[in-house]
Amino acid sequence: MGQLFVANKHILVVESHNDKLFIEQLIVHLKNINLEVSPPICNIDEYECLSGLSEKKLSDKLNDLRIASDKEGISKIGIMVDADSNGIDTQLALVNSSLKKAGF
């Protein structure tokens, strides 16, 4: 008999371990001030750290997550990148290109 489970795992892809720590503390802070934030930001099950942002690293990570999504029950994948000196438009273009390369 096959294994049956509900796909409800939420993954947040971040640039670095520092970004992961920042988001975790932000969520704690938001909960402490009784500010209601809509899911999935308060329901992150796992973080995937890239150790630096590049189109190749992000598209490879997204491809791995796309392949694993059915097997591991991943239902939502978020991506958080810094604007840095490149600017928001450049980073958004990088994310969109990475999503296309990963098959989304």
CB 63 within 8 A of CB 102: yes
Residue 78 has which token pair? 């978020």
Mean pLDDT, residues 43-65: 89
pTM greater than 0.85 (yes/no)? no
Instruction: Give residue 2's pLDDT band: very low, low, confident or very high (50, 70, 90).
Output: very low
pLDDT attached to residue 3: 46
CB 80 within 8 A of CB 12: yes
pLDDT attached to residue 56: 93
Task: Report d(CA 42, CA 24) in Å as an integer.
Answer: 9
pLDDT attached to residue 1: 41
Task: Report d(CA 22, CA 27) in Å as an integer.
Answer: 9
What's the chain's average pLDDT?
A: 84
